[in-house]
Amino acid sequence: MTGYGVGSHENAKVKYTVEIKSLNSKFLELSIRLPKAVSDKELTLRGECSKLIERGKVNVMISSEYTDQTAKASSINTELLKKYYNQLKTVADELGDKDAAIFSLALNMPEVIANNDDVVDEEEGKVLLNAFALAVQQFNKFREDEGLILKNDAEKRVQMILDLLTEVEAVEGDRIPLIRERLSQYMDAAVGKENIDKNRFEQEIIFYIDKLDVTEEKVRLRSHCNYFLQALNAPDSNGKKLGFISQEMGREINTLGSKANNAAIQQVVVRMKEELEKIKEQLLNVL
């Protein structure tokens, strides 16, 4: 299911902005891009995404903006620099090297220069997490709005299938008498009316008509449609359940069409299949 959310939070020192985008996917595929200074928060953010987002191909992009740009500037460990410098100068004097670039060498010694981007304080970490919470809130609101549209569309199409089932029942009354009449005319033309064993013919007609009876299919299809609507309005995540129910609806519609032996009913069945295919396409986006 697609989604989009952006959240920002700031204090006197820094402003963090979190942007979340997602495309539909059966599983959670998570990509997080964040500043090096808050790289230690990645595991926390991944855990929160797993709980709050559930699934989708999700991209989380985090940016920071410092109020005082000097806050990110590197700092020099003065005492350590002096110690390195004095040690290097002593060695250079002992060796009689007057041209040695002692200051430059001392400045490049380990831990003399500390990059402030490498670490953040606890307060700055809270700013990031607050921005993330706002982005997730907006992201889930986006998904809820989209989900409501999908829900209304699915309800409308299931109701259309139920209405079409009513149309089937309306034309079904004349189906069996027409089949009986057509078979009688065929037998009369094939072997002659006087050569037909009436009892045997009635037995065969009953057996044949029983094979064409669609009462069970109509009952099950109506039951599946009502169950679909019930599951659709349930509070829990039920995308898979809706998928299973739609498959059962498809089976009953297919059987109804194959047993109908009636052009008008088969036309209605085709319309049912069209609505069901649209429902299945929408269910691919349901959690």
pLDDT tens profile 163-190: 999 988 887 766 666 666 676 666 667 6
Q: Are residues 194 and 223 in the same domain?
A: yes
Structural contact between residues 4 and 142, judged by C-beta atoms closer than 8 angstroms: yes
Q: Are residues 63 and 13 in the same domain?
A: yes
Q: Are residues 46 and 151 in the same domain?
A: no
Q: Are residues 183 and 131 in the same domain?
A: no
Which pLDDT value is given to residue 79?
Answer: 84
Which pLDDT value is given to residue 62?
Answer: 93
Residue recorded with tokens 């039951």:
223
With bands split at pLDDT 50, 70 and 90, how would you rate the model's confidence at 202?
A: low
Amino acid, res. 40: D
Q: Are residues 197 and 219 in the same domain?
A: yes
More confident residue, 58 or 69: 58
What CATH number is attached to the domain comprising 50?
A: 3.30.230.10
Q: Are residues 131 and 152 in the same domain?
A: no
Q: Are residues 196 and 278 in the same domain?
A: yes
How many domains would you assign to the chain? 3
Structural contact between residues 60 and 76, judged by C-beta atoms closer than 8 angstroms: no
Residue recorded with tokens 């953040």:
120
Q: Are residues 93 and 192 in the same domain?
A: no
Q: Are residues 44 and 138 in the same domain?
A: yes
Q: For residue 58, give both structure tokens.
A: 């999700």
Q: Are residues 18 and 31 in the same domain?
A: yes
Q: Are residues 85 and 150 in the same domain?
A: no
Q: Which of 270, 21, 20, 276 is nearest to 168 (CA)?
A: 270
pLDDT per position as a tens digit, 100-158: 688 888 778 877 766 555 556 788 889 999 999 999 999 999 988 988 898 999 999 99
Structural contact between residues 80 and 111, judged by C-beta atoms closer than 8 angstroms: yes
With bands split at pLDDT 50, 70 and 90, how would you rate the model's confidence at 193?
A: low
Residues spanned by the domain of 39: 3-70+123-142
Alpha carbon distance 129, 8 (integer Å): 10
Which pLDDT value is given to residue 276?
Answer: 95
The enclosing H or E element of 80 equals helix 78-95
Region 84-99 average pLDDT: 80
Beta-strand runs (E) in the chain: 3-10, 14-23, 28-33, 56-66, 75-76, 113-114
Q: Are residues 14 and 57 in the same domain?
A: yes
